[in-house]
């Protein structure tokens, strides 16, 4: 009678046993594989939003002029004002990808970044595969809250890479990583917060006078200022940090949705608070289990991002990315879900070849769903946000154009002949003007703003309160469908 001892070679998908070699996947490998198929397919369904389009326009201008645009040329209300474009590298790459393969290729790039982030995070987790599976699965709704075709998705990948390098003590790679990150997106500030927190944790550990801990702390104390210096190698130099904080403050002031504090008033925010409180309780009750440097570094990194996630909803996703491996470390490598005390946890078993077939079928179905959505394309993808009829009416309309905040980015790319009233870049516009534009959108009181700026044309979504006010004032519709209305002032003809 043969004893059944075995181990898994995950990369090869082979299970070895005393009875011989059987090719296939066990249940846990299949479950984890299906989870990553779902993550990749979900990322391939990210939508293009208003930001996506002005990023494409900026990328086009970068390649056309071989310089980074630092003054506004897309609006008439902020024309010539300074624009701290700190996302230029994403724009240049996104424009090339879109030019070569359209939105599908750009989506593949973004989906690769997101999937890579979750692979890196999964590899930082400890414990049985099914426990890691459930932790990662539970985090997905909150982690996916910022998935859209904009540079934030690359920041998620770079954040995951940063904590991976820190946990594995590959500190020498951090300065070049921060150099790259600073030219991609302002969320490099999150990397700075994480690096500062783990450096502080290393200094505290070094007080134990262990040579390894002291050496680690000294290296981090040397690397951290080098990372700060690396972020100066951008078109903005050290001014980058000033504009990152100014932009965040302006966004809070203007009540931009993703910058609003995470009050527990909606399902997403309530779920975040449940996770945050559970993490704090877990940390307070099990912090003594943080034995290795990786354990301490991951817990410190997640804890450092918690206040930022409370302050702004957009930071919930980066926090969730780090809290999952930190929680797994606090639970410990021997933690078992649904285990009966005194009895070993059961090993999930099912036919190995069948598991492989299920994973392959799941992947094929996922690819089929994604390609079908792209072929249609599904409206939620945002590839055609404004109808051609509405765009033609905008191009033909004389005089300054009024548009709402969310639509400006679309028009910068799709109707480039017409400078916009406002758009989601926000930074070039004076803060009082952004608040004025927000008030106009919500109240419909257009008279003072339109008179001051001599506005004679407007593109409005169907639900806008401005449209009926304009109609009563004698404005007429040069185009209208179920989503958009293009209106012109009385006496203005195309």
Per-residue pLDDT of 182-207, as tens digits, reads 999 999 999 999 999 999 999 999 98
The residue-averaged pLDDT of 197-220 equals 93
Inside any domain, residue 16 = no
DSSP-derived secondary structure letter, 488: E
Domain end (from 290, 310, 331) = 331
pLDDT band at 350 (very low <50, low <70, confident <90, very high): low
Are 149 and 282 within one domain? yes
pLDDT of amino acid 365: 98
Are 116 and 219 within one domain? yes
Inside any domain, residue 379 = no
Strands 476-480 vs 484-488: parallel, antiparallel or unpaired: antiparallel
pLDDT band at 369 (very low <50, low <70, confident <90, very high): very high
Domain end (from 331, 346, 369) = 331
Answer yes or no: is pLDDT of 348 > 70.
no
Are 320 and 434 within one domain? no
pLDDT of amino acid 248: 83
Q: Which range has the worst mean pLDDT, 3-12, 69-78, 84-93? A: 3-12
Answer yes or no: is pLDDT of 347 > 50.
no
Q: Which long-range contacts (CB under 8 A, 24 or more apart) does 131-135 make?
A: 131/328, 131/331, 131/335, 131/336, 131/337, 132/32, 132/328, 133/28, 133/31, 133/32, 133/35, 134/337, 135/324, 135/327, 135/328
Are 325 and 405 within one domain? no
Please provide the average confidence, as pLDDT, over all residues in the chain.
91
The residue-averaged pLDDT of 476-490 equals 95
pLDDT band at 208 (very low <50, low <70, confident <90, very high): confident
Q: Which range has the worst mean pLDDT, 21-25, 27-31, 310-314, 442-446? A: 21-25
The residue-averaged pLDDT of 82-106 equals 97
Q: Which of 43, 54, 183 is nearest to 109 (CA)?
A: 43
Are 298 and 438 within one domain? no
The pair of three-digit structure tokens given for residue 265, joined into one six-digit string:
């008033």
Percentage of the chain beyond pLDDT 70 is: 92
Inside any domain, residue 354 = no
More confident residue, 209 or 168: 168
Q: Which residues contact 378 (CB under 8 A, 6 or more apart)?
A: 45
Inside any domain, residue 380 = no
Are 392 and 457 within one domain? yes
Are 214 and 323 within one domain? yes
- pLDDT tens sequence across 59-71: 999 999 999 999 9
Are 299 and 397 within one domain? no
Are 161 and 297 within one domain? yes
Inside any domain, residue 125 = yes
Q: Which range has the worst mean pLDDT, 106-110, 204-208, 406-410, 458-462? A: 204-208
pLDDT band at 222 (very low <50, low <70, confident <90, very high): very high
Are 38 and 158 within one domain? yes
Query: Residue 444 class from Cβ within 10 Å (0-12 exposed, 13-18 middle, 19+ buried)?
Result: middle
pLDDT of amino acid 13: 44
If one counts the domains in the chain, the total is 2
pLDDT of amino acid 335: 85
Q: Which domain holds residue 109?
A: 27-331
More confident residue, 8 or 283: 283
Are 447 and 307 within one domain? no
Are 404 and 289 within one domain? no
pLDDT of amino acid 255: 77
Answer yes or no: is pLDDT of 320 > 60.
yes
Answer yes or no: is pLDDT of 76 > 70.
yes
3-state class percentages of the chain: helix first, strand second, coil last, to nearest 5: 65, 5, 30
pLDDT of amino acid 336: 77
Answer yes or no: is pLDDT of 3 > 90.
no
Domain end (from 289, 309, 331) = 331
Inside any domain, residue 12 = no
Inside any domain, residue 107 = yes
The pair of three-digit structure tokens given for residue 426, joined into one six-digit string:
């926000």
Inside any domain, residue 357 = no
């Amino acid at each position: 009678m043969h004893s059944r001892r075995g181990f898994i070679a995950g990369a090869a998908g082979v299970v070895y046993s005393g009875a011989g070699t059987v090719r296939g996947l066990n249940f846990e490998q299949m479950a984890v594989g299906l989870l990553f198929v779902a993550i990749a397919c979900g990322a391939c369904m990210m939508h293009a939003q208003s930001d996506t389009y002005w990023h494409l326009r900026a990328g086009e201008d970068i390649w056309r002029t071989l310089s980074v645009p630092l003054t506004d040329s897309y609006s008439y209300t902020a024309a010539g004002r300074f624009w701290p474009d700190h996302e230029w590298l994403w724009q240049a790459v996104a424009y090339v990808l879109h030019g070569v393969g359209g939105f599908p290729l750009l989506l593949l790039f973004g989906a690769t970044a997101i999937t890579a982030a979750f692979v890196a995070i999964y590899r930082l987790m400890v414990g049985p595969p099914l426990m890691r599976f459930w932790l990662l699965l539970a985090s997905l709704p909150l982690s996916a809250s910022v998935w859209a075709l904009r540079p934030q998705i690359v920041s998620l990948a770079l954040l995951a890479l940063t904590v991976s390098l820190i946990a594995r003590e590959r500190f020498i790679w951090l300065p070049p990583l921060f150099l790259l990150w600073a030219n991609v997106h302002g969320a490099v500030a999150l990397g700075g917060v994480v690096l500062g927190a783990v450096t502080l944790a290393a200094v505290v550990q070094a007080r134990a006078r262990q040579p390894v801990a002291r050496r680690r702390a000294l290296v981090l104390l040397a690397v951290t200022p080098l990372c700060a210096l690396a972020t100066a190698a951008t078109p903005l130099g050290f001014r980058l940090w000033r504009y990152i904080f100014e932009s965040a403050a302006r966004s809070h002031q203007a009540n931009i949705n993703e910058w609003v504090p995470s009050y527990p008033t909606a399902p997403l925010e309530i779920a975040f608070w449940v996770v945050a409180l559970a993490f704090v309780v877990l940390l307070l009750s099990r912090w003594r289990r943080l034995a290795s440097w990786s354990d301490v570094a991951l817990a410190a990194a997640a804890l450092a991002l918690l206040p930022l996630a409370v302050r702004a909803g957009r930071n919930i996703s980066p926090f969730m990315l780090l809290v999952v491996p930190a929680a797994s470390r606090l639970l410990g490598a021997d933690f078992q879900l649904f285990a009966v005390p005194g009895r070993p946890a059961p090993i999930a078993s099912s036919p190995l070849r069948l598991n492989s077939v299920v994973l392959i079928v799941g992947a094929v179905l996922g690819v089929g769903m994604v390609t079908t959505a792209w072929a249609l394309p599904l409206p939620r993808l945002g590839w055609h946000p404004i109808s051609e009829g509405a765009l033609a009416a905008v191009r033909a309309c004389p005089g300054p154009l009024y548009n709402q905040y969310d639509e400006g980015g679309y028009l910068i790319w799709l109707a480039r002949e017409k400078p916009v009233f406002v758009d989601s870049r926000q930074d070039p516009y004076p803060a009082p003007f952004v608040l004025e534009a927000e008030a106009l959108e919500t109240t419909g009181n257009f008279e003072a703003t339109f008179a001051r700026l001599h506005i004679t044309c407007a593109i409005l979504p169907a639900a806008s309160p401005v449209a009926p006010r304009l109609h009563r004032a004698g404005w007429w519709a040069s185009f209208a469908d179920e989503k958009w209305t293009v209106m012109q002032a009385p006496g203005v003809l195309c």
